[in-house]
Amino acid sequence: MTTQIKDKEAFQRLNFLYQAAHCVLAQNPENVELARFYCHTQRMIGRRLVLRQDPSIKRTICKKCSSLLISGVTSTVRQKKLRGQRKTVVRCLSCGLTKRFVSNPNYKLWCEQPEALLENQPKTDQDKKPEHKKDLSKVKGSSATRADEKKQTS
């Protein structure tokens, strides 16, 4: 069974822009503005077409300045213990925005959990039985009830 992806061309365009931003920074780490333009364009296209990006992609793009977050080039990455929990703190070098992620190795994003998939959702009784057929004998004034009354009186 082949599955058709809605807006396949748009996802290909977003993927190209993300890879282009990586290539630009790999060739010349000082060319941050062009990589930022590619990431900003990617975000705007995704927002305009209302497409959800994978969390691993969203975590590598700064929300404030649309800069690609690569450790040592455009961001700093530190491990800190905040409120008794170990977290990874990513700080953008362009705008200073910090992102904090839980460092628990057993932690899973919601989209990675099996309950999030539509195929794994339990079927309800409403999905199995359509309620459009009603028992006419219980409805007062219906023709089936009148026919039963005539049989009883005759």
Chain segment 30-82, per-residue pLDDT in tens: 999 999 999 999 999 999 999 999 888 999 999 999 999 999 999 999 999 88
The single residue listed with the structure tokens 């953008």 is 92
Average pLDDT, the chain: 82
Residues 6+ apart with CB under 8 A from 79: 86, 87, 88, 89, 103
Rounded Cα distance between 49 and 59, Å, is 20
- Whole-prediction pTM value? 0.67
pLDDT in tens, 79-93: 998 888 889 999 999
Place of tokens 């219906």: 142
* Residues shown for the chain: 154
Which of 100-104, 108-112, 126-130 bottoms out in mean pLDDT, i.e. has the lowest?
A: 126-130
Distances (CA, A) of 61 to 54, 103, 104: 12, 19, 21
Phi, psi of 70 (to 5 degrees): -115, 125
In tens, the pLDDT along 69-80 reads: 999 999 999 999
Q: Which residues contact 139 (CB under 8 A, 6 or more apart)?
A: 145
